[in-house]
Structure 1
Amino acid sequence: MSQNSRDLMIEGAVKLLGQRGVQAASFTEIMKATGAPRGSIYHHFPEGKEQLVKEAVELAGKRALNFLDPHQGQPAVIVVEKFISLWRMLLSHFNFEIGCSVLAVTVGSESPDMLEQAAAVFRQWSDQLTAMLLAGGVASGQAKGLANLVISSCEGAVAISRAQKSFDTFDTVAEQLLMMIRNATNSPQENE
């Protein structure tokens, strides 16, 4: 099987995790979703489902980082608007039927390795958002906390929006986050 079939299986796992959680990301479901033959799954993921899920979480994490990359050096409010828009697009494109694959692993797995992979992704997001908020005018004493608040708030808003099949809560959270970022960039900067 080619590398493309391996990538297709990882893509399928990302989607299944976001739609139905860790339990649904079985090899059988991956095969149904991607058309991959059983032998290719075991060939590409000899360590089993956990290897596939960890790679799917890594891919989902990289996608968010790659989405933010073009906005390096922009004002903090633009950075946060873009991060929020990523989640809004996900909900909109999949009609509220998919959420964050990384969060799905966090709430649906008891595997220390899978949980550590999810934690690593959240740390990467926090580190990048922190750096971008600093560059975008947020004081150093506030940037890390605000980055973590943005991530956590977006994750919660996505989950609630999926349940409600509505952007009402999502939009309220987005509005509050942007107001906080505007206030943080209007406050005096720390001298460090």
Structure 2
Amino acid sequence: MGNVKNATSAPARERILEAAATALTQRGYSATGLNEIIQKSGAPKGSLYHYFPEGKEQLAVEALAYSTREWFLMLHSIMYAANDVPTAIRNVCKEMAKQLKKSNWENGCPIATVTLEVASTIPAIQQAADNHWKDWHTAIREYFTLHNLHVSDAMITTSIAAFEGALLLSRAHRSEEPLLQIGETLAMLIETLPMRQNPEGQKKE
């Protein structure tokens, strides 16, 4: 997430979603104003309620879905470009550290800020957050399975929690080090995981 596409490069609806996604990532739900989103997106006045007739809550839910898709595309491209899982984990953390620094420590996980702020009070956003974490859990399991590694649900949850915590610490300290440290630690931990076995009990090649 970052700079909003200009008026000639994307439809108004997409620009509104991108502007909302960036604001939600950086400042959360309460501090994100609809007038600001219109201004940042360059969309015509009145278009927000045309595309999102239910108002801010609908916009937030759809913006979170939009940013989650962008987030997963970014992670997918980094992870599947690597030759092995430990390298992929290191590369993801390095790239996130780079992007976080480039954003002046404002960007991070597209849904974490909103989850902490209003997931307990706005059911639709709680559901969006729940979907995000479940999708991430599934994506990690599929990636590890592709690389023939046996990984438990607890290990996946630990990895996500460590990564999210590192993002938070990097923002708080305005430093890349927490992300780089977690990337290295998770990579070393993953190197100890057992290989999956086929039904005959033999390790796959």
TM-score bracket for this pair, using the shorter chain length: 0.7 to 0.9
Task: Summarize the Cα distance change of 1:37–1:53 in structure 2 as closer, same or farther, 3 Å threshold.
Answer: same
Match of 1:18 in 2: 25
After the TM superposition, which segments of 4 or more aligned residues of structure 1 sit over 3 Å from their partners? Answer: 187-192
TM-score after normalising by structure 1: 0.86
Q: Is the 8 A contact 1:74 1:135 kept in 2?
A: no
Q: C-alpha separation between the residues in 2 aligned to 1:86 and 1:8?
A: 24
Other structure's SS at 1:22 match = coil
**Alpha carbon RMSD of aligned pairs, Å?**
2.3
Letter in 2 for 1:49: K
Other structure's SS at 1:38 match = coil
Q: Find 1:67's aligned residue among 74, 87, 90.
A: 74
Q: Which consecutive residues of structure 2, in runs of 5 or more, have no partner in the other structure?
A: 1-6, 200-205
Name whichever of 12-21 and 57-66 sits farther off.
Answer: 57-66
Aligned length: 188
Query: What pairs with 1:104-119 in structure 2 (closer than 5 Å)?
Result: 104-109=113-118, 110-119=121-130
Task: Summarize the Cα distance change of 1:27–1:189 in structure 2 as closer, same or farther, 3 Å threshold.
Answer: same
Match of 1:166 in 2: 175
Structure ranking higher in helix proportion: 1
Q: Is the 8 A contact 2:13 2:51 kept in 1?
A: yes
Task: Summarize the Cα distance change of 1:86–1:59 in structure 2 as closer, same or farther, 3 Å threshold.
Answer: farther
1:90 and 2:99 matched: yes
Q: Find 1:122's aligned residue among 110, 115, 133.
A: 133
TM-score after normalising by structure 2: 0.81
Q: C-alpha separation between the residues in 1 aligned to 2:123 and 2:95?
A: 28
Other structure's SS at 1:24 match = coil
